Amino acid sequence: MAVVQVVCIHCQQMFNVVKNGKAEMGHQRYRCKDCNKSFCPCVRLQKQRDAQKAVGASGPLQSQFLLQR
C-alpha cells in the first residue's frame, strides 16, 4: 500500500491532513486539522488542466511560433 502525503491547498500544511469522505464525482476529499478547511485536490488540478486547454492556440508559445513565420 502506498502512502501519499496530501498538502493542504489553504495553509500548505502536510502532516495534519486526513481523509474526509468523497465528493459528488467520487474524488477523495480531505480536511486539514490546522486550518479546519475541507478540500479536494483533484478538483483544483482539473481546473488547472481545463484552463490550460482553454488557452490552446492562443498561448504564448503558439503566438510566438506564429509571429516567427
Question: Which is more confidently placed, 2 or 65?
Answer: 2
User: What would the mean pLDDT of 2-12 be, rounded to a whole number?
Assistant: 84
C-alpha cell of 6?
496530501
Rounded CA separation 45/31 (Å): 17
CB 32 within 8 A of CB 39: yes
The pTM (predicted TM-score) of the whole model is 0.59
Percent of the chain at pLDDT above 70?
58
CB 17 within 8 A of CB 8: yes
Domain locations along the chain: 17-68
CB 34 within 8 A of CB 56: no
Rounded CA separation 60/62 (Å): 6
The single residue listed with the C-alpha cell 509571429 is 67
